Structure 1
C-alpha cells in the first residue's frame, strides 16, 4: 500500500534552524525532510513528492530565489508551493522578487509559531484533500475498469450466445440488437436500432400484440415466455421468446428485454421422431398382422400340428430374414439379389439348382418382405412337389422391367410330371396376391410349373445395372444328417425360446446336457459340462457372453451364436462361429450343428 503521509521539505544551510522548524511543524500524518543546500534539495525533490517547501532565502552558492527559479523550470518540481524563510527586514522589493521567483508566502525570523502552524495547516489540508481525491480517482478508475470488463464480458457472451438479445422501449422501439439477433434474423444492428419491431419485419401482428401486452402488464416482476413463429431470410423460424419488463427507478421509464431462442431444428426433430414412431407402430402392427394371417391360413391348410409347425416356422423365418436385410439398410431399400441370396442361405433355394438372370433392382421395404414370403413359398413347393424334389430338377428365375411393371418369371424343369392341383392352398394364394395389387398367373405345364408375376410399384433400377447369370450346376452330394447323441449346451435367457430350441434339438436326436439362463450358469456350464457343441445367445439379461465364448474356444468346443444381433454386436475374435438369426427353426439349428461338428471331426483327422 503506498505511503499516504504528507511530506514537507525544509531547505536551509543551518541545520539547527531546520531542527527548530521541524519541531514546530511536527504532527501525525506529516513527514518532514531536511536539505542543507539547493543541490541536495533538488535531488530529494526528484525522488519524492512534496506538498510544501520551506526555503531559506540566504544560502551560499545558490540562494533561495535561485532555487525557486530552478524548481519552476523543472516539470516535476514546478507545482511545489514555496514559502520563503528569511531573517532580513521586510522589503517590498525583496518580497516582489520572491513572488516573482514562484514563492507563495514569506515567514520572517524570529518565527511566530502560531503563524507558522497556521500557514502550514492550509497546505497540509490541501495536500490531504489532494491525496484523498487521488485515492478516490484510483478507486473510480478501478471501478470503471471492472465495469468496462464486465460490460465487455457480457457483450461477448451476448454476441456468442445462441440467444438473440433484443432491448426495446415501451413502444417496442429497438435500443439493443445483439450479434445473435443479426445471425438469427439476418438484419444488421444499424438497420434496426431506433426503429420499431414492426418495421424490422421479424414478427407477425399477433406476436407484436403479445409483446405490447407484456409491457402493459402491471406485474413487472412476472417472467413472460411464449413460443412464436418468426421470419428470416432462410424461411420461417420456430422461436421460444422470454421477456422481462424493466422500469428505470430514476426516470420511471419502462423497457422490454427479450431473449429469443431458435428451436426450429428441435421442432423438425420432434416431427421426424413423431413420424418415425408412427412408422414404427405401423410396421409393427403390419408385421403382427402378417404373422397372424400366416398363422391362421397355415393352420387352416395344415393336416396336423407337425405339418403346421414346419410350414408356419418356415414362413416366419422368411419374414424374419427379410426384416434383417431391411435393418441392415436402415429400412430404405434392398436389392433383388439380397433377397434371393438370403433364401439360398436359409436353404429354401438351392444355389446349384437355381439359374437367375436380371438387372440390378432395388425393392421398397414392403416389396422386400413380400418377395421373401413369395420366394419361400415357391422354393418350399418346388422342394416338396416340384423340380427341386429330384436331383436333376432346377429352377430358372428371371426378372426384367417391361413398361411400368417389374415382371418376374419362376420356371421349373426336370422334376416330376406336373398337374394342376384340385384345390388352391394358402401357399398358392400367397404367391398370387403376395405383392398386393400385382398381377400373377400360373401355367401348370407337365414339364414344370411357370409363375409370372407383374409388380406395379415399389421398385427401381439401381444406378449400376448389370445382368446376373448363375449357371446351372449339378447338385452337391447330400451330407450325413445323423447327429444322434450329439451333446449340446444351450445358453439362452428366454425360457420359452430355450424350451423351443431344446425340444427341436432333442427331436432331431441331439442330447441337451445343460440349459444356462444366466451368465454365471453359462460360465459354470462352459467350464464343467461335457459337451460336443454349444449354442450361445448374444447376451444374457444384458450381460455379454464374451467370457463364455472364450472358455469354449479355449476348451476346443465349437459353438454358434443364436441371436437377434449382427456380428458387430457379438463377441469378437470368432469369425468362424456361425450366426443364426432369431427366430431359428429346428432344421436350421440341426443343419448348423452338423456343419460345425463335421468341421471339428475333419480338423481332428487332419491333426492326427
Structure 2
C-alpha cells in the first residue's frame, strides 16, 4: 500500500522458528507478521497485503502445500510470492509439487542467513517498487479525476456561458463549436464541425481574412497574443448578429501546428440599447427645446398684450402652471396618451375651474401628449376668460363641457350659460390665439359662437384620440391648498434647502414678499443638516433632491425637531421620502399663490404658539 511499510508473512507452527526468521529479516521499512497455522495465515492474508510469504512445508492439519493451493485459489492472494521453508533434503518430486502449488523458491534448513537475506532483499525491493507504482497509479488516477472534473466544469461553463466558443485549426477549419455558439447563431455543431470557415457562411470574407492574418502573424513567433474584432455574423436563417470576437493563437508543443481559439460575444442587444438611448436623447432634446420654445412664445406674447407687470405675472404664471401640470399628467402616463378627465380634474384641483359650476358629459377617452399640452393651455384660457367676462364672472353662471368621439378624433364643446351678454372681441388676443390653435392650427377645427346667452366653442381634434382602456386611475389630491386672502407670514423665520441658485432667488423673494425672513440657505446635504440643527427656524422649504443625494435625513431631523416643512420639487410624491407622504408637495415650477398658501397653512400652528 502507498506510504506504508513493506510486509512479509512467516508461517510456521514452531514459535522458535518464527522468532529466528523474524530476527534474521528485521530491517528498516519492513514489517514482519507471524502465523502458526494455515487458518491464521489465511485470516492475515485477507486483511493485509504482503510482498512475500515464507511458508513452512510441514505443519499439522493443513501443510504448506495445501495452504499455497488455497492462496492460489483466491483472487486476493493469487499473486503473492511464496518461498517454501523445509528441512527435507532436496527432493525433485517435492520441489515439483511446491512449484506446482505456486512457490517461487525454496529455502532449506538449516537456514543460511546470507541466502535468506539475499532472497528476501529481492522481494523487499520488488515490494518497494510495487508500492511506488501503486502510489504513482493513485496519483495519476487523482490527476485524471481532477482533469476530468476540470474539463467537466470547463464544458459546463462553456455550454452555459453567454459567449460562443469556437476553435479553428491552422487552416481555419472549425474543430469545436460550443452550445453558446449554437444559441447565438442558431447553427448546430453537427453542421459546423469540419467546415472551412470561408465556406460556412458564418462570417463575412473580410473577417475570415482578418482571422487568417492572426494565425500568419504567429508563424515566426512563439508568443501568444490576444486579438479582437467587431464583426457582423449571420445565423442559419440569414439574420445579422453584431459580435465582438476575441481570439488567441495557440501553438502546439512541436512549434509547428497552430490553432485559433475564439470567444464570441453577441453585442446586438447593446447596439440596440445604444440606438434606443441615442433616440431617447434626441427625443428628450427635441421635447425640451419645444417646451422652451413654447415657454418663450408664451412669455413674449403675454408681455406684448399685458398692460403692466402685475398683469404679465398673473397671466404668464397661470399659463406656465397649466403647462407644467399637463407635463406632470404625461409623466405619470410615461409620455403616452393620458385621460382627458385627468386634465379636467387637474384644473378643478388647482382651483382654476369650480367643480360645482361645471357640467361635463362624454365618454372616457385618452388623448396624445401633443393634444394634452395644447388642451391644457386651451382649458386655462377658456376658464380665465369665463372668470373675467363670461359665465364664471357672475354668481349662478355655469359651464357645460361635453365631448364625443367622431371617427379617429374628438369633438369637444364648451358652452357658457347664465353669464352676462357677450360679444365677439374687437381684436384677437393671445388667449384667443391659443384657443384657436388647440386642435393643431388646422383650418376649420375650432369655431366660436358669440351669442348673448354665452359663448360656445367647438373644438375638433382630428387625431390622437382613443377610447380609454381599463379603469381610469383615481384623481390625485391637490398639492395646492386654498386659503383665505390676507393671511400674513410676518415674523416667521424660514430655512430654504435648494441646490439651484435661480430657484433659491425666486423662493427667497416670494418668502420675503409674504412678510417672512429667510434665515438660512443650504445647497448641499451636509449644509442642510447643519442648518436644520440650528436655532430660530419656524418653517422649512425642502428640495426633493440635493445634487443627486436624497433628503430623507433632513426631513427626519426637521420632523424630530417639530419644524413644519414642505417639499418643493420637480419629482412626484412617489419619488420623495416615503415616510413623509403627508407632507405638502409644491411642484416646480411653482406659483406664488400656491407657495404662499402652503406656507400659511404650515405657519398656523407656529403663529398660534406665539399668540
TM class by smaller structure: 0.7 to 0.9
Asked if residue 580 in structure 1 is aligned to residue 583 in structure 2, the reply is no
Change (3 A) 1:489 1:350: farther
Structure 1 stretches lacking a partner, 5+ long = 467-477
Q: What is the aligned-residue RMSD (CA, Å)?
A: 3.4
Contact 2:162 2:265 in 1 (8 A): yes
3-state SS of paired residue (1:380): helix
Task: Give the equivalent residue in structure 2 for 1:4.
Answer: 4
Q: 1:390 aligns with which of 390, 394, 408?
A: 394
- Which moved further from structure 2: 364-373 or 419-428? 419-428
CA distance in 2, matches of 1:19, 1:435: 121
3-state SS of paired residue (1:280): helix
Q: CA deviation at 1:322?
A: 1.0
Q: CA deviation at 1:289?
A: 0.9
- Paired residue total: 584
3-state SS of paired residue (2:171): coil
Equivalent residues in 2 for 1:402-441 (5 A)? Answer: 402-439=406-443, 440-441=446-447
Equivalent residues in 2 for 1:566-577 (5 A)? Answer: 566-571=572-577, 577=583
Task: Give the equivalent residue in structure 1 for 2:465.
Answer: 459
Q: CA deviation at 1:320?
A: 0.9
Asked if residue 227 in structure 1 is aligned to residue 230 in structure 2, the reply is yes
Q: CA deviation at 1:285?
A: 0.7
Structure 2 stretches lacking a partner, 5+ long = 473-481, 523-527
Equivalent residues in 2 for 1:533-552 (5 A)? Answer: 537-538=543-544, 542=549, 543-544=551-552, 545-547=554-556, 550=559
Q: CA deviation at 1:505?
A: 5.9
Change (3 A) 1:378 1:247: same
Q: 1:523 aligns with which of 503, 513, 532?
A: 532
Query: TM-score, structure 1 length as denominator?
Result: 0.85
Asked if residue 250 in structure 1 is aligned to residue 254 in structure 2, the reply is yes
Change (3 A) 1:113 1:326: same
Q: CA deviation at 1:139?
A: 1.4
Asked if residue 369 in structure 1 is aligned to residue 378 in structure 2, the reply is no
Q: CA deviation at 1:565?
A: 2.7
CA distance in 2, matches of 1:375, 1:427: 10
**What are the superposed Cα offsets for residues 134-174 of structure 1, whole Å, 9 maximum, x if unpaired?**
12111111111111111111112212221111222223333
Equivalent residues in 2 for 1:179-328 (5 A)? Answer: 179-198=179-198, 200-218=200-218, 221-232=224-235, 235-250=239-254, 252-328=256-332
Q: 1:400 aligns with which of 388, 404, 415?
A: 404
Change (3 A) 1:574 1:599: farther
CA distance in 1, matches of 2:191, 2:320: 67
Q: 1:511 aligns with which of 511, 515, 519?
A: 515
**What are the superposed Cα offsets for residues 545-574 of structure 1, whole Å, 9 maximum, x if unpaired?**
52366258x57x6x6544323222345566
Task: Give the equivalent residue in structure 1 for 2:383.
Answer: 379
Q: CA deviation at 1:298?
A: 1.3
CA distance in 2, matches of 1:504, 1:12: 118
Asked if residue 563 in structure 1 is aligned to residue 569 in structure 2, the reply is yes
3-state SS of paired residue (1:42): helix
Contact 2:448 2:455 in 1 (8 A): yes
- Which moved further from structure 2: 6-15 or 163-172? 6-15
Query: TM-score, structure 2 length as denominator?
Result: 0.85
Q: CA deviation at 1:287?
A: 0.8
CA distance in 1, matches of 2:16, 2:285: 109
Contact 2:409 2:464 in 1 (8 A): no
Asked if residue 44 in structure 1 is aligned to residue 44 in structure 2, the reply is yes
Contact 2:489 2:600 in 1 (8 A): no
**What are the superposed Cα offsets for residues 316-368 of structure 1, whole Å, 9 maximum, x if unpaired?**
11111111111111111222221122122223322222222322221211221
Change (3 A) 1:68 1:359: closer
Contact 1:505 1:586 in 2 (8 A): no
Task: Give the equivalent residue in structure 1 for 2:351.
Answer: 347
Task: Give the equivalent residue in structure 2 for 1:149.
Answer: 149
3-state SS of paired residue (2:516): strand
Q: CA deviation at 1:511?
A: 2.4
3-state SS of paired residue (1:150): helix
Change (3 A) 1:401 1:37: closer
Task: Give the equivalent residue in structure 1 for 2:477.
Answer: none
CA distance in 2, matches of 1:108, 1:183: 78
Contact 1:360 1:461 in 2 (8 A): yes
Task: Give the equivalent residue in structure 2 for 1:475.
Answer: none
**What are the superposed Cα offsets for residues 413-443 of structure 1, whole Å, 9 maximum, x if unpaired?**
3333323333222222222224433333333
**What are the superposed Cα offsets for residues 69-121 of structure 1, whole Å, 9 maximum, x if unpaired?**
33333333332222233333333223222222222223334444444343333
CA distance in 2, matches of 1:574, 1:12: 97
